[in-house]
Amino acid sequence: MPSVDLTGPSRIRTDRLVVRRFAPDDGEGLHGYLSRPEAVRFEPYDVQTRAQCDELAAARAHDPSFWAVCLQDDGTLVGNLYLHHDEPRAWRGHSLGYVFHPDHWHRGYATEACRALLDVCFDQWGAHRVTAHCDPRNEASWRLLERLGLRREGHFRQSASFSTDDAGRPLWHDAYLYAVLDSEWRPAND
């Protein structure tokens, strides 16, 4: 089980990674992957400039939903996780998201980082249900969710639009909904 240091900034250590709160000076690391079209292809935003990444890092340093994923050996920022406590809070639901640097894809970092954060979410924060949405065209994303033990609960047709065509009309795309319950998490991941 990952260890969490709750004195100072929260950190979760895995075999290869440190999942930590963002720092205001993480802009350069964010820019390393948010400036890459393939990294943000399925995100609700376009590639980001260095200035935008500096602003994002500063904002994320104060947002407990965002987590920086860094290599344990040298501290390189290789991605980020998003784990938001949904409303109403009494339902103990959370929403998961992630973006990783393309140079670090296919190494298991996303699986390792998500699993560690979900362990903490269920075991320490008392989550009941965690959901995640992804574009069906993003096979790597939905395969990650399935590796983590989340089940596909829905396929929403033309449910989101992050861009428009030349005439300003929304370009709609589908979304998958995945979820896992607290009663399912531990047995699937022991």
Residue extents of the structural domains in the chain: 3-189
Return the amino acid letter for 86.
D
Asked whether residue 188 carries a pLDDT value surpassing 60, the answer given is no
Write down the mean pLDDT value for the chain.
Answer: 92
Sign of CA dihedral 158, 136, 68, 14: positive
| Mean pLDDT on 166-185 | 93
Residues 108-123 have a mean pLDDT of 95
Write out the H or E segment, with its range, that includes residue 117.
helix 109-123
| Per-residue pLDDT at 171 | 87
Residue 5 pLDDT:
40
E-assigned strand segments in the chain: 3-5, 11-13, 17-21, 66-71, 77-85, 93-100, 129-134, 151-164, 170-181
Name the CATH architecture for the domain at 3-189: 3-Layer(aba) Sandwich (3.40)
Tokens of 22: 């963002």
Sign of CA dihedral 81, 176, 94, 171: positive
Q: To the nearest whole percent, how much of the chain has pLDDT over 70?
A: 93
Tokens of 157: 């047709």
